[in-house]
Amino acid sequence: MARLLENQSKDLLQQMGIPVPTYAVAQNPQNAAVLAEEMGKPVVLKALVPVGKRGKSGAVKFAGTPQEAETLAAELFGKRVSHYPVYHVLVEEKLDIVQELYLSITIDRSRKMPVVIACASGGVDVEELSREHPEKVITYHVDPLDGLGDYAARQVWSDAGIGGKTLQQLGGLTAKLYKAFVDYDAYILEINPLAITRDGRLVAAAAVMSIDDGAMFRHPDLSEKVQMGTERAWRPLTELEKQMVAVNEADPYRGTARYTEMDGGDIGFMCGGGGASLLLFDAVLQAGAQPANYSEFGGNPAEEKVCGLAKGILSKPGVKGLLVAQNITNNTQVDIVARGVIRALEEMNIDPATFPVVVREAGVNETVARELFRAKDIEYYGDDITLTETARRMVSKMREAYPGYGI
């Protein structure tokens, strides 16, 4: 999934006719003071990072004057929020809020339907409230063919305890938010809080929005804005990880290739098979070595994608060997894997005679793959050895190439 920063989410919401606070992005503390002065009222300062729960992590501050805005913004710039460094700060008007609501729209995987989740008590403590009083949280599954009409949205909020004029307003606003969710192929759209102001307005005071990265081809205008991979990452993507995201997205219709860079390590790790990749990773550690990365590929990727992933794995400084393996119950054509890996080695001028490479592949077109690998003097195994034995053989080959390795 690809998460938008809050200002970008609010840009989209505004285009859909959904009220949001006046906001701007500050590049430095002095800029925050200028923006606060231009707004002419108290402001909220928010660290612009692609994670939630910023309030509880001290990444949301309130300033009454431009001078205070500059001081507090200085505390945010350079701060790390869930490992993400803060390079920009959102400056927006402080609303006069009389009630905070919670609204999110996401996909219920078990039922394979969009689901609206609403609560009459929003804010930073909504998770605790949902645990202690689950009856206060209303869920409504939306038939994707019918969509969400005003009447259904009003029923959701009525069940949450909202009435009167506010209920009428919430019906239309929630329907618009659902339309935004669908139109932008969102995986989640969360408004917390959805503010009721003292003058009776409904305003999306804070927004979290993630787009299905498989649908980015329908939204080329967002391709340079989204924070790719943020739904799977606990930290910012490294430059090499970003390159591997690009490799995967270059051909989104055939196979997957994912890459996570690890600190240290010297064995390039290229594995497929879900649980098999985790087993193999642990087996390498138990054999006395450390992978330089964790990667997973499958779904019968094209040669170009296999080659791109292999080149990325091999390009990390300090990588001294390559381990390629998959479980034996997969639909990946292993001859294509062979061609992609061999091409990567050749394009990077890596000689398997001096650079340890161990392959354990079994499946479709295995005989061809065996011939291709062995023609290049690459050590190849099929299902005649286990993944654990493969890891041991990789470490053994490293020790043959690098005397004293692992000692």
Give per-residue pLDDT as tens, 333-348.
Answer: 999 999 999 999 999 9
Where are any strands of DSSP class E within 88-243? Answer: 89-93, 97-108, 113-119, 137-141, 186-197, 202-204, 207-211, 227-228
Selection from 392, 388, 369, 396 nearest residue 380 by Cα: 369
Q: What is the pLDDT of residue 328?
A: 75
Identify the weakest region by mean pLDDT among 24-28, 59-63, 101-105, 278-282.
278-282
177-210 residue pLDDT tens: 999 999 999 999 999 999 999 999 999 999 999 8
Q: What is the pLDDT of residue 278?
A: 87
Element (H or E) spanning 294, and its range?
Answer: strand 293-298
Q: How do strand 60-63 and strand 267-272 relate by DSSP bridges?
A: unpaired
What is the amino acid identity at position 176?
K
pLDDT > 90: what percent of the chain?
Answer: 67
Cis before residue 193, ω within 30 degrees of 0? yes
Q: What is the pLDDT of residue 257?
A: 86
Whether the CB-CB separation of 154 and 168 falls below 8 Å is answered with yes
CATH of 22-94, one of 3.40.50.2300, 3.30.1490.20, 3.75.10.10, 3.30.1340.10: 3.30.1490.20
Q: 140-162: b or e for each residue (b if 16 or more CB lie within 10 Å)?
A: bebeeeeebeeebbbebbeebeb
Kindly give the interhelix angle for 29-39 and 66-76, rounded to the nearest 10 degrees.
Answer: 140
The reported pTM is 0.67
Domain definitions of the chain by residue range: 1-21+96-234, 22-94, 237-401
Q: Would you call 30 helix, strand, or coil by DSSP?
A: helix
CATH homologous superfamily of 1-21+96-234: ATP-grasp fold, B domain (3.30.470.20)
Q: Would you call 52 helix, strand, or coil by DSSP?
A: coil
Where are any strands of DSSP class E within 38-109? Answer: 43-47, 60-63, 80-81, 84-85, 89-93, 97-108
In the beta sheet, which residues pair with residue 203?
195
- Whole-angstrom CA distances from 185 to 107, 140, 167, 216, 400 are 11, 19, 27, 8, 51
- Compute how many other C-beta atoms are within 10 angstroms of the C-beta atom of residue 12: 22
Q: How far apart are CA 292 and CA 277, in angstroms?
A: 14
Q: How far apart are CA 334 and CA 354, in angstroms?
A: 24
On the question of a common fold for 22-94 and 237-401, the answer reads: no
Q: How far apart are CA 26 and CA 41, in angstroms?
A: 16
For the segment 23-45, the average pLDDT, to the nearest whole number, is 96
Burial class from Cβ neighbours inside 10 Å (0-12, 13-18, 19+) for residue 38 reads: exposed
Confidence of residue 354 (pLDDT cuts 50, 70, 90): very high
| Mean pLDDT rounded to a whole number for the chain | 89
Element (H or E) spanning 266, and its range?
Answer: none
CATH homologous superfamily of 237-401: Succinyl-CoA synthetase domains (3.40.50.261)
Whether the CB-CB separation of 353 and 248 falls below 8 Å is answered with no
231-245 residue pLDDT tens: 555 567 788 988 888
Q: What is the pLDDT of residue 54?
A: 84
